[in-house]
Structure 1
């Protein structure tokens, strides 16, 4: 796992995920001591289209974390300098 990865977190990762979530990883909090096999993650909870909706710190079981493949979020606004078609 590396920053920017999207993770799919279910009850296999922690009992708190009764409803699975998608999570974009910012960093693994290696400086925090945990129980063997567990880790702290910093990142953003994502909605179904891949947009960040909440900043979260999560305590999860390493073997329950799965990489996910979500499409990149679509831009809501045109880039500066782009013109509309008429």
Structure 2
């Protein structure tokens, strides 16, 4: 099953409407009711340079998609502090307006 961020090639193996293959970046898998073994995908269709040229909803068989590049793994947010089991994560910081 494709996931958001995957770069896929959509060919006739995915759906007969794609006689000419297209490359797409998956935005999301839509939760629309459909036939067993088929899904609706919200995608950006890409040109030869990899730029998005259209946003489309396509009806395909996931088994017929060719994943060219999986979605990148999420990177940690540098603005967030990692939580752990160390003493720093258990430190209590008093509220300046609160009396002790």
TM-score normalised to the size of structure 1?
Answer: 0.75
Provide the C-alpha distance between the structure 2 equivalents of 1:2 and 1:39, rounded to a whole number of angstroms.
12
Pair 1:11-2:9 in alignment: no
Equivalent position of 1:66 in the other structure: 66
Count of aligned pairs between the two proteins: 68
TM-align CA RMSD: 0.9
Give the unaligned 5+ runs of structure 1. 70-86
Deviation at 1:52, TM superposition (A): 0.2
Give the unaligned 5+ runs of structure 2. 70-100
Instruction: Detail structure 1 runs of 4+ shifted over 4 Å in the superposition.
Output: none
Q: Which has the higher strand share?
A: 1
**Structure with greater Cα Rg:** 2
TM-score normalised to the size of structure 2?
Answer: 0.65
